[in-house]
Structure 1
Amino acid sequence: MVKRVSLWNSGCPVARSLDVIGDWWSLLIIRDVFDGVRRFSEFQTGLGIARGVLATRLRDLTERGILEMAPASDGTAYREYVLTEKGRGLFLVIVALRQWGEDHLYHPGEARSSLVDIETGAPVTRLQLHAENGRAVGWEETRVQ
């Protein structure tokens, strides 16, 4: 098995981010927490992931400050995984991946889930990058300095 190389010391924020959340299990766990999943058994059942892999990913996400353990919301003796402020900051990343997948990975008319506004029930608007003055910008109108 190939050992994973750490990108933590990279000068690139994308590389550092991938060092923390760059495998699919981590992103699917984070997605599930946003969707209300909190307990180990719920993750395992929903994702179909091996116990050892799940335990490793949950430990890593906790050690890196994305998740934290909290008393169970139902008052039982269980502990639950919840997003930290750092973890909640990944919401737009998950939405961006969702919208990219909707645009490029489905056939017209193919069934899929939708992200909707709880208040109105309407689909959320598309993410868009804006310049400081509010003007919409695309990749060709930006550069890394």
Structure 2
Amino acid sequence: MTDMAHVTAVACTEGSDRGKLSFPDVIGLLGAAGIERYHADLLRAEKTYYRPDGWSTVVAAEPLAHAPASRFDAAGVAAAIGAVQRRAIDYGGFCARIAAAGCVGYHVTLAGRRAVYYGRDGACHVELFPAAD
């Protein structure tokens, strides 16, 4: 199971970075691989994926072109989420926009069906996502 989970984590990271996988695609693939949550660190350009049994893996991600803003703007993060959900921007554009809004990383939990975006000072924006059909 570990090999499948790692391969899936790499595929999800690369697929997102290349604009080939949407967020719902990623959530479906991760759930099928037994991965329950992940953390995206925008400053380190990496994602860490976790299973409930304590297994984890770190996958390199596409680095940001510009450092995140120093001040967190929850409304700016929410606007970027809306734009990527409408497919007005791809994942790379999404990362650029949330960084411009001061986001330095985010946590996604499949069981909690939420993403928590946070800034340097701990300010955050919580985004719930709908239950899978």
- Common topology (TM > 0.5): no
Give 1 or 2 for the bigger CA radius of gyration. 1
TM-score, length basis structure 2: 0.26
Q: Identify the structure with the greater strand proportion.
A: 2
The structure whose RCO (Cα within 8 Å, separation 6+) is larger is 2
Q: Identify the structure with the greater helix proportion.
A: 1
